[in-house]
A and B are shown apart, each in its own frame.
Chain A
């Protein structure tokens, strides 16, 4: 629609999950993170984008798909298990339709979930042939969705950069993974946890990154102060462009008092038949050890500050979506009206969120995005949706300034990933990083397919897996702590083991030979920690 554009709004959704891949067992609850995210977030987002495309709505979203997530979406094993997950859910829904037949309102929801999971299966297996990456790629190629890269395993730069090579490798692997799955040249890069250190700039440039996103104060506290705050990008002396998160719009979504996801008509996250249904009935559908966990089938709405939850009503929820999309839309119009008088170029409002907010935590989120995109396109307003790279192309003139070292974690710096609960880990990450570099320089060019190369590559995989910011975060956060701690131990342990082989096993070093049991061990680890099949350890040279 033709309109008088005075500014732009850019949504950036950050889709990330840590690499959870256990071919040895199906009992890891952590694997459900992926399945839940696919059903509640990724498929709904894909469907929303598709609907907008089908309705000829011109829209723009930006989305980061992190390498661990891409590797998992590409894993045959996990794809098969996801289908199993869906089949089990469909079976449960069938039972639910029977169990709830005496309550009309709940029964309607049972039918709804049955349809939804059946549809997921259809979309996943029949439409996209188990390959959701191709769905995202399609929108990327169409130009309505800009996919951006991310650090290899979401390693947190402000901790890793003590050894800059490890940061460089995170960036390099991230860009390589993007290039493996997408054909459009990479423009943007999501800094894991928005953790920024100026030392990373040169490597971002080295691998062709044009822009990254930082937290609000990354821009506000920049040196020198950006004249237009977060409403215009800045460029660092090394040539990386930075967009800062808008405070007002993110608060509207997140405010604990009146944030959108807290609407009383929305689905209540914590009530789930996994906890509510009779135990013997639900047992086959919860954790393998019998513990009650979420199933994703939730019948209640937030209702209010009460334990007495009313039944969820989809129509009411959709009404709230409309209302809130309207509110967001109006607020941006006002904000841009005001800002346009103070900036030289039309202001840009950057709204980064975790993608998993949309659909998983905020069940109605994908629908809200859809409604908003449609509103922006059809309604009379003073702004358009844009991707950061399009904004750069339109307004390439920007202030030179170095952003402030910052993150989007609580309190704005590194406390989430560095505090007394997890600070015992950092020395191991650093030492393993240093050792990886030492290995790479002792074995600078092992021939393709040689056993040493295989071990070195697996060392690199173990190192990057240990570096995931997720483990540190989970330990701080206090849920699933044992799993996170075990993952750190496993990856550091495996790394160290391989390191000792490469430094002490004479037969390996001199004759390039490995005993049979060691070879079997290597094989089993290659299967488990199968991220980055094409990794090249010489990244650390």
Chain B
């Protein structure tokens, strides 16, 4: 799926949604739990028919812009009637904004210079210049209908922003994080440039005749193992056995099982990750005659002690307070202490 994307999809879309309705939608959305994926924010932000039309992809900006204009009049009415039970102020806002945007449209036509033109301008100029002409001509009609008193006061439009997270950044990257002492989280991406390099070197079907693998290097105990992943994923959770060790993960490619000689080599490196040390998960305890150092943090004086048998009694006296489990070096994490303000606040 990654290979189909051509460039970073970082362009955000500005949606000239009416403030009042969108706000309402946001609070509504946030007040309930929804598991919906990608589209959730879209839904949350845009509930009214107007907004729906405006979120349609920028490719159809022509249509969009004109739709907005034509939809304006009826929707404005709809808001007034629908929100009759809502506060008067919000309705006022909605209407005034409507009229403001109309005035703005008019201005574009005449001057092309106005503070708050950005909505219309960006929308219309995003692809072609022809829609602009259409929009303005349409606007002309609507502005004619608009009550003249509205044009007296121009309220700058604060277009509701809408963003999607960039699908990818087109960089070759492998990053690894430690989820817990036994699980690494790895994510990766391969840039188009690197993909092309592989394809140029090993054939256009390079990514079909090879499979991706993650090679996990334990740098502390000095061993390596490999897991098969697939091209539909861009991240993976990897179980590891040894805690408190340094790991580095390598993204690589191997020929497919059914076509072992499709490429001239048995393994190709794509990229290395950062190095990470996975957390420790047990009490290390001492051996007899281990040296322990103490520091006076005011004077920086360091003193050395040797861990003797008689210290064990003390240590056991201390550590028996922690309800250690049978192995005697781990303790129970069912401590319901782990809270966060947001969990106690709502």
A residues with a Cβ closer than 8 A to B are 14-18, 24-25, 27-30, 32-33, 36-37, 158-159, 162, 193, 216-217, 220-225, 227-229, 231, 235, 239, 241, 245, 247-248, 250-251, 253-256, 259, 287-289, 291, 293-294, 339, 341-343, 353-357, 360-361, 392-393, 396-400, 404-406, 408-416, 418-420, 423-428, 430-431, 469-470, 473-474, 477-483, 485-486, 488-490, 492-494, 496-497, 500, 516-517, 520-521, 524
Contact = CB atoms under 8 A, between A and B. Distances in A.
B293 A18 contact: no
A420 B323 CA distance: 31
Nearest to A193: B340
A223 B285 CA distance: 9
Interface size class of B (residues with CB under 8 A): 35 or more
A380 B285 CA distance: 37
A405 B178 contact: yes
Nearest to A26: B23
B280 A221 contact: yes
Interface of B: 10, 12, 19, 23-24, 26-31, 33-35, 40-41, 44-45, 87, 115-118, 121-122, 156, 158, 161, 163-166, 169, 171, 173, 175, 177-181, 185, 187, 189, 235, 237, 244, 274, 277-286, 290, 292-299, 302-303, 311, 314-315, 317-319, 321-323, 331, 333, 335-346
Q: Which of B166, B173, B189, B278 has the most CB of A within 10 A?
A: B166
Given A216-B322, A254-B339, A289-B27, 15 more contacts: A29-B27, A223-B280, A235-B295, A251-B335, A288-B27, A288-B87, A356-B345, A418-B177, A424-B165, A428-B165, A479-B346, A486-B30, A486-B45, A517-B118, A517-B121
Contacts of B117: 517
Contacts of B169: 427, 431
Contacts of A28: 26-27, 30
30 contacts: A25-B19, A28-B27, A28-B30, A29-B27, A216-B322, A217-B333, A221-B280, A221-B281, A221-B284, A224-B286, A229-B318, A247-B321, A247-B331, A251-B337, A288-B24, A353-B337, A361-B344, A400-B293, A405-B178, A405-B277, A408-B338, A413-B179, A415-B179, A426-B175, A478-B33, A482-B44, A492-B163, A496-B12, A500-B10, A521-B118
A250 B178 contact: no
Given A227-B311, A392-B297, A397-B296, A220 B319 contact: yes
A493 B118 contact: no
B342 A33 contact: yes
Given A339-B318, A400-B294, A36 B165 contact: no
Nearest to B169: A431
B166 A17 contact: no
B292 A227 contact: yes
B165 A398 contact: no
Q: Which of A392, A423, A486, A488 has the most CB of B within 10 A?
A: A486
Contacts of B295: 235, 397-400
Given A289-B28, A493-B161, A521-B118, A229 B175 contact: no
A433 to B, nearest CB: 11
A229 B322 contact: yes
Contacts of B282: 221
A17 B165 CA distance: 24
A349 to B, nearest CB: 11
Nearest to A228: B318
A411 B330 CA distance: 12
A493 B272 CA distance: 28
A526 B344 CA distance: 30
Contacts of A404: 279-280
B30 A396 contact: no
Given A33-B345, A415-B180, A517-B121, A250 B279 contact: no
A424 B118 CA distance: 32
| 10 nearest A-B pairs in the assembled complex, by CB-CB distance | A493-B163, A405-B279, A517-B118, A483-B30, A361-B344, A413-B180, A342-B317, A396-B298, A229-B318, A356-B341
B158 A524 contact: yes
B41 to A, nearest CB: 5
A405 B337 contact: no
B337 A413 contact: no
Q: Which of B10, B179, B337 has the most CB of A within 10 A?
A: B337
Contact of B286 (A225, A231, A408): A225
Contacts of B187: 423, 426-427
Q: Which of B163, B281, B293 has the most CB of A within 10 A?
A: B163
Contacts of A474: 342
B245 to A, nearest CB: 12
